[in-house]
Amino acid sequence: MNDPKVVLVTGCAKGGIGYEYCKAFAEQKCHVFATDIPSRMDDLSDLQEKGIGTLELDVLSDASVSSAVNAIISKHGRIDVLINNAGIGSTGPLAELSLDDIKKAYEINTLGQLRMVQQVVPFMASNKSGVIVNVGSVVGKAPTPWAGSYCSSKAAIHAISHTLRLELKPFGINVLLVIPGAIRSNLGSHNIEKLSNYKWELYKDFSEEIAERASASQVGKSTDAALLARHVAKKVLSAKPPKQIVYGHMTSLFMFLSISPLWVRDLFFTKRFNLDKKV
């Protein structure tokens, strides 16, 4: 019963929140496995020096996920905690954003998490224990303009998590939903970089607002990723993990907006992103 927890974290490139999750769980004396796609494995070398295991894992690939999960099971006989962190940003107006890009956001942010769940659950069920941590977002509660594909992919994770929490209860598996606010990471820079591939037509007059949305979570008083990771690790490893964790800058605002009348939400985002502009 006192054996260290075996923790699998997805999406662990340096500069991201997953990287901090790995360090936070290692600080709690867990056996941590950091994973990412093959092209980013060099980013994990610093984690190896901290005694954290590293494995290639692409959440888009059944074979890759199965290989990583089986490697951990072969070594430790179990996975106690899955941190479903891997994800990408997706910025742009829904009427113009490439359907291929929208599809990729769903495949990584939503189906990628579910693919991990389906691979890990049989092992957890056989042990009658385990914790699955799915990472959503405050914008999954109150979606914003210029990021509808990202917001909706995270909203789907909220629905999936609430369903899984009940469906997996008979097997002794806890499902915990993390709802971060504005957290400092490399997500903003990646979003801006991807925007360079687009030249808006219908929304050309909103290019500045769209770019601002791409980096919105990375400016001002955004919360340090290490603080979020440590908070989540302590909650997940507690005797009675909560059903969800809401943490970070702007969470209070977005939770308020999520329960506000739609006219309040619309007015806020219209003013915030200059959508009362005449074109």
**Residue whose structure tokens are 């769209």:** 210
- 223 phi/psi in degrees, rounded to 5: -80, 140
Distance CA 72, CA 85 (A): 18
Q: Give bridge partners of residue 133 from the DSSP assignment.
A: 83, 176
DSSP state of 182: B
Distance CA 269, CA 275 (A): 8
**3-class DSSP state for residue 137?**
coil
Distance CA 107, CA 69 (A): 19
Known catalytic residue: 235? no
Distance CA 145, CA 220 (A): 19
Known catalytic residue: 271? no
Options 19, 21, 150, 247, the catalytic residue: 150
Options 14, 154, 169, 203, the catalytic residue: 154
**Dihedral through CA 2, CA 166, CA 23, CA 58, nearest 10?**
120
Yes or no: say if 244 and 179 are a contact pair by the CB < 8 Å rule: yes
Yes or no: say if 85 and 36 are a contact pair by the CB < 8 Å rule: no
Assign residue 76 a region (left: φ > 0; alpha: ψ between -120 and 50; beta: otherwise). alpha
Token pair of 190 as six digits: 């990646």
In 62-172 the beta strands, taken as DSSP E runs, fall at: 81-84, 130-135
Yes or no: say if 184 and 262 are a contact pair by the CB < 8 Å rule: no
Residues with active-site annotation = 150, 154
